Homo-oligomer: A and B are copies of this chain.
Amino acid sequence: MPNNHFKRGELYSFITGKASIAIARRLQKKFNGAGLNLTIEQWSVLYHLWKADGISQQELCKATFRDKPSITRLVDNLEKAGLVKRVASENDRRINCIYLTKQAQKLQQQSMDIAEETLNEALDTVDPEKIEICKQVLQVVYDNLK
């Protein structure tokens, strides 16, 4: 029997990711409350564009851990909202480079502040060493399954 054998009652919340769902909901509420008309999923795309503007949809797939159709539709909606635009690559016409609009650039500071605030609320009273261990475990889980 593997040493990580799980007791029945402990299995559920690990699989369902209750904690990350709670974080996402809190963040969404804060976005709404701040008048940011933005879903968490859209924000996750902008997050990577703020780090590297003009990357392709394929690169957004890898970065956000989503499949191609999901990114197609997120970019569709971001484009409708006037936050990004698709520009066909000069070198390879299969590729769309995704560029932030000025409007999207304005959202960076505020939304990142809200995200950080949310995480601080989530991790309030938690020993920083335990947070570090938790992050390590989640990273190994991800690496084990990807």
Q: Which A residues contact B (CB, under 8 angstroms)?
A: 2-6, 8, 10-27, 40, 44, 47, 64-65, 112, 115-116, 118-126, 128, 130-131, 133-142, 144-146
Contacts and interface: CB of A to CB of B under 8 A. Distances in A.
B12 A142 contact: no
B12 A23 contact: no
20 contacts: A3-B128, A4-B119, A4-B123, A5-B116, A5-B120, A13-B138, A14-B23, A14-B119, A15-B40, A16-B64, A16-B65, A21-B65, A23-B141, A122-B141, A122-B144, A123-B140, A123-B141, A131-B137, A133-B133, A134-B137
Nearest to A63: B12
Given A4-B119, A123-B141, A124-B4, A135 B12 contact: no
A20 to B, nearest CB: 3
> What number of copies of this chain does the assembly contain?
2
